[in-house]
Structure 1
Amino acid sequence: MAARIYQIPRNAMQSGRALTDKWVLEFEPAEARKPDPLTGWAGSGDTQRQVKLTFPSCEAAKAYAEKYGIIFLVVATPEKKLKIQAYADNFR
């Protein structure tokens, strides 16, 4: 059972930073999804895919994974790039 730990990214459609301080532990899929012959919907028998745990810090998520013997990978948060420009730059 493998999992990845990452920080929730900021929503690109909004300027707010709500929930961006939370860390998530999400399990990797154990089996591929396959279409159901009757309905055509994609599904699998992997129930761990539905589990998403949130933590206040990366250390808390790591401690939880180590406590329960979960192999984890910490995905680094991308660096924030600010493009600072004046409104007048739009007309040059």
Structure 2
Amino acid sequence: MSQARIFQRPKNATQSGRARTDEWVLEYLPREKTPVDPLTGWNGLADTRAEVKLAFPTLDAAKAYAAKHGIDAYVVPAPQPKLKLQAYADNFR
């Protein structure tokens, strides 16, 4: 049985827009630890499922897909944004 995690895309820190932040992503977890290539020192993985990311419009759609295909999925809750309220005058303290 394969395992996966379902999470909501976070807002990109380098952009001001919120494109694709309402999507839910199902991402497979790797089955084994990534081996190190002795020649190059790079990490490699023969399991191509770790590269697959599926996007869904709602959390329920992602859960339904996982249940239909026998995927043991867990939901990672989206972090709550922390607002830092600051007045313009605080720049001159």
| TM-score clears 0.5 | yes
Task: State the match for 1:88 in structure 2.
Answer: 89
Q: Which amino acid aligns with 2:81?
A: K
Deviation at 1:34, TM superposition (A): 1.2
Deviations 1:9-57 (A, max 9, x none): 0011222111100110001110111122333321022111011000001
How far apart are residue 89 of structure 1 and its match?
1.1
- The alignment yields a C-alpha RMSD, in angstroms, of 1.1
Distance 1:15 1:90 in 2: 22
Whether 1:19 aligns to 2:20 is: yes
Q: TM-score, normalised by structure 1?
A: 0.92
- If the length of structure 2 is used for normalisation, what is the TM-score? 0.91
Give the structure 2 partner of residue 35 of structure 1.
36
CA distance in structure 2 between the partners assigned to 1:70 and 1:17 by the alignment = 29
Structure whose residues are more often strand by fraction: 1
Structure 1 unaligned blocks of 5 or more: none
Runs of 4+ in 1 over 3 A off after TM superposition: none
Number of residues of Structure 1 aligned to a counterpart in Structure 2: 92
Q: Tell me the SS of whatever aligns to 2:86.
A: coil
How high is the sequence identity, in percent, across the aligned residues?
A: 62
